[in-house]
Amino acid sequence: MITPEQTYQKFAVFYDLYVGRFSADVDFCHSYCSSDKSIVEIGCGTGRILKYLLDKGLSVTGIDISDEMLQKAGAKLEPFVSSGHLKLLNHNFAEKPFETKFDVALLTFYTFNYILDKPEAFLANIHQSLSRQAALLIDVFYPMPLKNKAIDNVWTEKSFEIEGQQVLLKDKRTMNGNIEHRCQVFSINGSEGISIDTFRRYFPPKEMVYLLKNADFSDVKLAPGYDFRSLKCELEESELGDNFIVVAKK
């Protein structure tokens, strides 16, 4: 099975074109952040959320397992790196905790769904990297083939234009138990398509609550979409759209 590192080594080229303008989650991420808190984004990618928080006057640490993603983030956000408001680091929480303790940890845009094995250890290492009463925010996806079984193992196609570039995206998603295999083929301005395979694990709401409590997190709340003003203790799958959010405290 392809590792997340291998996936994002290829995906870094297309990441901004694919999700660069996505903004539905920025208010949710910002809602728990302030200038008096140390903030880390785990799975920061090329810096979409980082830029939003930095533009709000906050200082942030961005962590990723992909050097390619971090290089792109560093190039885009170099003034913030030079001023000391942004640190970019390669670290894998699946392997060990981080030496610095943070007040807010953001697991953005389905980063947690790429943890296919031992999610308990991943969360436990994050727990050890947080200060007392710190908040953990997680964005969890709901697989499209579960929401609409008619598209399971079926190719779909869409085209869009970003920054003058015409992008054609072919996409196929197949569920095998709780693992989604997504195959994407990107073509830019008619170029030969580049195929990228990803594997993501679906964690139902009840499993997320169990995993977090088992990792010693408390006060776990959930909400569909990014409606952080409507967080509650339980969430049914029938309430889900494309995703749900989870907030927990150390």
Top CATH class of 144-200 equals mainly beta
pLDDT at 188 over 80: yes
Q: What is the pLDDT of residue 166?
A: 87
pLDDT in tens, 49-65: 999 999 999 999 999 99
Nearest to 203 by CA among 172, 228, 235, 173: 235
Distance CA 46, CA 35 (A): 22
Q: What is the mean pLDDT of residues 185-197?
A: 86
pLDDT at 192 over 90: no
pLDDT, the chain, mean: 93
Per domain, the residue ranges of the chain are: 4-143+203-249, 144-200
Question: Strand order in 218-224's β-sheet?
Answer: 86-90, 60-64, 39-42, 102-107, 130-141, 243-249, 218-224
Claim: this prediction has a pTM higher than 0.75: yes
Q: What percentage of the chain reaches a pLDDT higher than 70?
A: 94
Residue positions counted in the chain: 250
Q: What is the pLDDT of residue 5?
A: 59
- Three-state DSSP at 121 gives helix
The answer to whether the CB of 107 falls within 8 A of the CB of 227 is: no
Q: What is the pLDDT of residue 112?
A: 98
CATH topology of domain 4-143+203-249: Rossmann fold (3.40.50)
